[in-house]
Amino acid sequence: MKQAGFPLGILLLFWVSYVTDFSLVLLIKGGALSGTDTYQSLVNKTFGFPGYLLLSVLQFLYPFIVDPANLFIGRHFIIVLSTAAFTLPLSLYRDIAKLGKISLLSTVLTTLILGIVMARVVSLSPYIPKTEDAWVFAKPNAIQAVGVMSFAFICHHNCFLVYGSLEDPTVAKWSRIIHVSTLASVLISILFSTCVYLTFTGYTQGDLFENYCRNDDLVTFGRFCYGVTVILTYPIECFVTREVVANVFFGGNLSLVFHIIVTVVIITIAMLVSLLIDCLGIVLELNGVLCAAPLIFIIPSACYLKLSEEPRTHSDKIMACVMLPVGAVVMVVGFVMAITNPQDCTHGQEMFYCFPDNFSLTNISGSHFQLTTQPSILNISIFQ
């Protein structure tokens, strides 16, 4: 919302969710047309080894660009401890279906976090100064926003795994599940983004929890819930990365020993990346434009266009012809913008309105501001 402009941001969220829905169905249709049951085998049969290698790199890199936690207090220790105690054991599962209940718990916790964010709109929003360009229709960084949104909706890298875990999997059944799941996802995304942006407008950080003050006990509980959701969700991403390694280097099968070794290596590398990076905004942007955009927009469309024998005027082919170049633009332009104009990042520091000396704004211009001592604009007691 901060990058795209609030009205355009809402429209883009709906558009990205629609494209996600369409491309997930397109992937399974492509699998049916090619007689394949994995994303990698689909691309391999469609574009040969070069396409297979490109997809493998994208799927392998995706989990490593994620920053698994940012809980502010003892961050490095918490990451190492939670990885060793929870993420690694959960990632050692060999059957993705066993992670279903874990995903359900993650969804429940996400809903709880959403409730906390919504509550803070009422109690906190009146005390946060609004930036002057908060409600313009569109902003020049909209393509960067599409990259972040693409990251939020990416699940294509494991859709064949989920599809294969269904009872009596069919394209029609998959389509129904995807329509419901995508609709729920976009509604949750809109509520999150709208509530946070209404509260903080132009000061909104890439990691929404960085906007809230450290002495806010309710939000601290939300941070804990968020850490748990990431711990519970990450094993699914690890499952995909491990499958890529198994397919590329071990012919699709891993012995128990190599299963454990590969899992430990993946989790360790991801943990090291997360220890070095504490700015979630640039992480989401780069992941979105470099991995999510091709996995959502480009590759499913390219596979379907090459495999399908439908006429050129068929609605699926028209949509695929639109998605492919749009994805290329988002990927290239989004990457350039992410490097040249990265999101603001507090690196875990308190926002100005949390200072105990009670600062307020006297001049607001974009993300730049001057601070002068004023009578209290933020009564800390509202957090208790």
Residue pLDDT, tens place only, 99-121: 767 777 888 898 999 999 999 99
pLDDT of 63 reads 59
pLDDT of 366 reads 36
**CA–CA distance, 179 with 338 (Å, rounded to integer):** 31
Type and span of the H or E element at 369:
strand 368-373
Tens-digit pLDDT profile for residues 260-274? 999 999 989 888 888
Residues 59 and 194 in one domain: no
pLDDT tier at 98, thresholds 50, 70, 90? low
**CA–CA distance, 116 with 319 (Å, rounded to integer):** 38
Q: Which residues of 296-328 are buried (b: 16+ CB within 10 A; e: fewer)?
A: bbbbbbbbbbebbeeeeeeebbebbeebbebbe
Total count of domains within the chain: 2
The CB density around residue 373, as the number of other CB atoms within 10 Å, is 9
Distances from the Cα of 229 to the Cα of 72, 183, 224, 226, angstroms: 16, 20, 9, 5
* 3-state SS class at 166: coil
CA nearest neighbour of 199 among 187, 210, 211, 207: 211
Residues 130 and 90 in one domain: yes
Residues 29 and 127 in one domain: no
The CB density around residue 104, as the number of other CB atoms within 10 Å, is 11
Q: What are the DSSP calls for 32-93, one per residue?
A: HHHT--SHHHHHHHHHHHHHHHHHHHHHHHGGGG------SSSHHHHHHHHIIIIIHHHHT-
Residues 118 and 247 in one domain: yes
Is the pLDDT at 281 greater than 80, yes or no?
no
Over residues 193-208, mean pLDDT: 88
Residues 50 and 101 in one domain: no
pLDDT of 178 reads 92
- Sign of the C-alpha dihedral, residues 175, 181, 185, 191? positive
pLDDT of 352 reads 82
pLDDT of 322 reads 92
**Domain end among 66, 91, 108:** 66
* 3-state SS class at 215: coil
Tell me if 79 is assigned to some domain. Answer: yes
Contacts of 321 (CB under 8 A, 6+ apart): 301, 305
* 3-state SS class at 209: helix
Maximum alpha-carbon separation in the chain: 70
Question: Is pLDDT larger for residue 280 or for residue 226?
Answer: 226
Instruction: Pick from 1-5, 36-40, 190-194, 271-275 the range whose average pLDDT is largest.
Output: 190-194
Is the pLDDT at 278 greater than 50, yes or no?
yes
**Domain end among 48, 66, 84:** 66
Mean pLDDT of the chain: 81
Over residues 348-373, mean pLDDT: 52
Residues 120 and 54 in one domain: no
Distances from the Cα of 1 to the Cα of 88, 95, 136, 144, 208, angstroms: 34, 38, 10, 11, 12
Percent of residues, the chain, with pLDDT higher than 90: 25
Residues 137 and 255 in one domain: yes
Residues 117 and 164 in one domain: yes
pLDDT of 377 reads 41
Contacts of 109 (CB under 8 A, 6+ apart): 225, 226, 228, 229, 232
Tens-digit pLDDT profile for residues 305-347? 999 888 888 999 999 999 999 999 999 998 888 888 777 677 7
Tell me if 308 is assigned to some domain. Answer: no
Calculate the dihedral angle through the C-alpha atoms of 42, 43, 47, 53, rounding to the nearest 10 degrees: -140
* 3-state SS class at 26: helix
- Cβ pair 57, 299 in contact under 8 A: no
**Domain end among 280, 314, 340:** 280
Residues 128 and 62 in one domain: no
Is the pLDDT at 151 greater than 70, yes or no?
yes
Question: Backbone phi, then psi, for 121, in 5-degree steps?
Answer: -60, -45
**CA–CA distance, 344 with 98 (Å, rounded to integer):** 39
Domain that holds residue 32: 6-66
Question: Is pLDDT larger for residue 323 or for residue 368?
Answer: 323
Over residues 138-152, mean pLDDT: 86
Residues 126 and 239 in one domain: yes
pLDDT of 358 reads 46
Task: Calculate ∠ Cα 50-296-250, nearest 5°.
Answer: 45
Tell me if 297 is assigned to some domain. Answer: no
Angle separating helix axes 6-34 and 39-61, nearest 10 degrees: 140
Residues 181 and 85 in one domain: yes
Residues 104 and 83 in one domain: yes
Tell me if 264 is assigned to some domain. Answer: yes
